[in-house]
Chains A and B, each alone.
Chain A
Amino acid sequence: MARQEQATTTSTTRQPVLADEAQPTTAELGRVREQRSLWNNAWRQFRKHRLAMAGLIVLSFFLLAVFLGPLVYDEKVNDPFAYPTSQAPSRDHLMGTDSLGQDMLARIFYGGRISLSVGLVAALVSVMVGTAIGAVAGFFGGFTDSFLMRFTDMFISLPTLPLLLLITFLFKDSMVEFFDERFNTGNFGVFFLIVLVIGLLAWMPTARLVRASFLSVKEKEFIEAATSIGATRGSLIFKHILPNVLSPIIVAATLQVGAAIITESSLSFLGLGFPSDVPTWGQMLFAAKDYLSINMWEAIFPGMMIFLTVLAINYMGDGLRDALDPRKTS
């Protein structure tokens, strides 16, 4: 497998080494190229997808900027009326100031941390739940399978956005109180709640996908072989099947990060997400929408950040799908 050379990757000067070629002599062995793993191959494939690479670069830049930016950019996030209100971008304030006279760039940095973290953690939650349910359903089959799939169907019929709005609104205050008391960080309670709710309302497609992959891989001969040498259920699931169904899971996870960022921003945009002292990008749009005629930049910057981030992630997902799909390796 690792020795298969693909027609499209022969750009290097090394000779293609085919499995059925005559055994190389010891002198030649030194020149045999290093073995290429699946991930190595995927990465080579991914690099050729120009837009996916652009997405990766943009996203890495944003991640670096929002996490390192505040270390060098010394501006307060919540400091009303520190500057003139609703200023267009200028040399002093690269993104202008908001309607409360706070520096926009500092808030974009801070909000980016929250928005990106929510997206990553929520996607992680949904992928883990979806993988667990799909794996159990696909591996055990029978009654377990039909029960879990009915359960999944029911979740698919749930009205996602209304429920999301309802749950965050109803439980937000008590979560803040709870976390404030125990850990002294009330806003972490909101983060926890939002991440959990987004994750728990988005795992269904992953579960179906993983179940389908499990069903097909389960019947393969190498699983029979593993069973025959006495592999336990746990090692069958985690060591033998799961690694073989990782590709679609990774693609789904990537796309879910983008979807989760949009969901969190929608929540905040409707005024039902994070409180106003936690400026996520959606929250900043919510604040800006009443001042469009005074200072449009207040809406354009956070909106562009959401848009570019999601676009970058979606292109990365596209590239990953091409790179990891074995049918696509021409």
Chain B
Amino acid sequence: MGRYLIRRGLISIVTLIAISVIIYGIIYLAPGDPLGQLATNPNVPPEVRERIRDQWGLNDPFYIQYWKWAQAYFLNFDWGNSLTARVPVKDYVLDRLPVTLWISGSAFVLGILVAVPVGVLSAIKQYSWFDNVATTFAFIGFSIPTFFSGLVLIIIFSVKLDWLPFVYSSQDNFWDTLKQSIMPITVLGLFTSAQLTRFVRASMLETINQDYVRTARAKGLRERSVIVLHAMRNAMIPVVTIIALQLPAVVGGAVITEQIFRIPGIGRALIDGILAKDVPVVMAITFGVSILVVVFNIIADILYAVLDPRIKYD
């Protein structure tokens, strides 16, 4: 296990470096002058422009520019300043993190809380009316894009019924915060639960027909303990792994939800950053998500080994 983790960690570091080269390369190759207005302003003499270019290192070849950036980014943890907000990127991003964590985190928890019982029940009572309803809803749930379900909720609960606000604003009062979070959490949460339910059901169906489950039943255990202790414990192993793998994807989902409900979180910061060509902010968020993906991949592998003694890495 130890040796596996070390090898896995080294591969991950190489992967992350490669990803950073790709992302940096894309921004480097992009047309348009990083100097922005300075480049086209006729009042700026060419010598001055050249001097700024030299100073910013824009005349250096790609690998030197990349190296300088990587050094600052990885070794000094200096993420630069946001070009639009004029504050350090670290502060800018960290300021927006809590809202995203609150919305996406609650949505994820809601998704799991719905998906696990529904998926398990659905599998136990396969082809019952409950199973049919649940699978149909799950199918619809992951075919409906969040940007449409979000707009439908707004039409129903904000426009028609006028119960919930559809613009997220900072509130002191907990009740108001809760009220404006209901719709975004529901939209994201139900989407997550639709995906997870199918997975839980499939995994449970596979275990329920195993010999050891039949043995448990044959030796006269109560049905409840057969399901919960024997079948579910094993069925949940791949589910836990999938949950770990999906966590970073929640950030991606947050981009759209935050745009619909105008939530000032990370996803919103990313869109604003892209529209304003705010390279440091975009770079920090995009790369941050990559790190999350890589880290959670490792976590999923470890969880798999911890939960399932049959799995051995060496």
Contact = CB atoms under 8 A, between A and B. Distances in A.
Interface in B276-296: 282, 285-286, 289-290, 293-294
A159 B266 CA distance: 14
B155 interface: yes
B139 interface: yes
Contacts of B23: 163, 166
A162 B290 CA distance: 10
Interface string B238-260: 00000000001001100110011
Contact of A159 (B139, B143, B154, B290): B290
B19 A170 contact: no
A174 B293 CA distance: 31
A307 B145 contact: yes
Contact of A158 (B19, B255, B256, B270): B19
A169 B252 contact: no
A270 B255 contact: yes
A293 interface: yes
Given A292-B154, A307-B143, A162 B255 contact: yes
B52 interface: no
Interface stretch (B24-32, B37-45, B108-116, B207-215): B24-32
A157 B256 contact: no
Interface in A261-275: 262, 265-266, 269-272
A166 B151 contact: no
A162 B154 contact: no
A157 B297 contact: yes
Q: Chain A at the B interface: mostly helix, strand, loop or mixed? A: helix
B218 interface: no
B11 interface: yes
Interface string A139-179: 00000000000100110111111110111011101100000
B307 interface: no
A167 B139 CA distance: 31
Given A154-B18, A166-B26, A303 B152 contact: yes
B11 A150 contact: yes
A170 B26 contact: yes
Contacts of A174: 31
B144 interface: yes
A153 B142 CA distance: 25
B94 interface: no
B299 interface: no
B274 A266 contact: no
Interface in A106-164: 150, 153-154, 156-163
A288 B251 CA distance: 25
Interface in B102-157: 139-140, 142-145, 147-148, 151-152, 154-155
B255 A171 contact: no
Contact of B286 (A156, A162, A170, A262): A162
B139 A272 contact: no
B228 interface: no
Nearest to A258: B143
Contacts of B271: 165, 270, 272
Contacts, number: 124
A165 B274 contact: yes
Interface in B8-37: 11, 15-16, 18-19, 22-23, 26-27, 30-32
A296 to B, nearest CB: 5
A241 interface: no
A310 B143 contact: yes
Interface string A295-330: 010011001101100110011001000000000000
Nearest to B136: A51
Contacts of A104: none
Contacts of B27: 166, 170
Given A307-B144, A311-B143, A165 B151 contact: no
B145 A266 contact: yes
A266 B18 contact: no
A196 to B, nearest CB: 13
B159 A173 contact: no
A165 B270 contact: yes
B275 interface: yes
Interface string A249-281: 000000000100010011001111000000000
Contacts of A269: 147, 256, 259
A19 B200 CA distance: 41
Chain A to chain B: the 6 pairs with minimum beta-carbon distance, closest first: A170-B30, A303-B148, A159-B289, A311-B143, A161-B252, A162-B286
22 contacts: A157-B19, A158-B290, A159-B251, A159-B252, A159-B289, A162-B286, A163-B26, A165-B271, A166-B23, A169-B275, A170-B31, A171-B31, A265-B145, A293-B159, A299-B155, A303-B152, A304-B148, A306-B148, A307-B145, A310-B143, A310-B145, A314-B139
